Amino acid sequence: MEISVQILGDPAVLVTGQTKPVSVKSLGRVVIFLALLRGASVDRNDMAAALWPGELPDVSANRLRVSLNRVRGLLGHHLDTDRERVRLSGISVVVDVWEADDRLREILDEVDHKHQLAMLAGVKAELESRGWRQFLGLDRGGRLRVGIRFAERRYCGWVSSQLISGIGSWLI
pLDDT over 70 percentage in the chain: 61
- 78 and 34 belong to one structural domain: yes
- 125 and 137 belong to one structural domain: yes
- 14 and 82 belong to one structural domain: yes
pLDDT over 90 percentage in the chain: 25
- 23 and 88 belong to one structural domain: yes
Cα gap 144→149, rounded to integer Å:
9
**Which CATH number fits the domain that encloses residue 8?**
1.10.10.10
**88-146 pLDDT, tens digit each:** 999 888 888 888 888 877 766 665 666 656 666 666 656 556 555 555 565 556 555 55
- 11 and 70 belong to one structural domain: yes
- 27 and 64 belong to one structural domain: yes
Cα gap 167→17, rounded to integer Å:
57
Count CB-CB contacts under 10 A for residue 62.
Answer: 14
- 136 and 86 belong to one structural domain: no
Q: Report residue 58 CA to chain centroid gap.
A: 28
Q: How many domains in the chain?
A: 2
Q: Is the pTM of this model over 0.75?
A: no
More confident residue, 112 or 26: 26
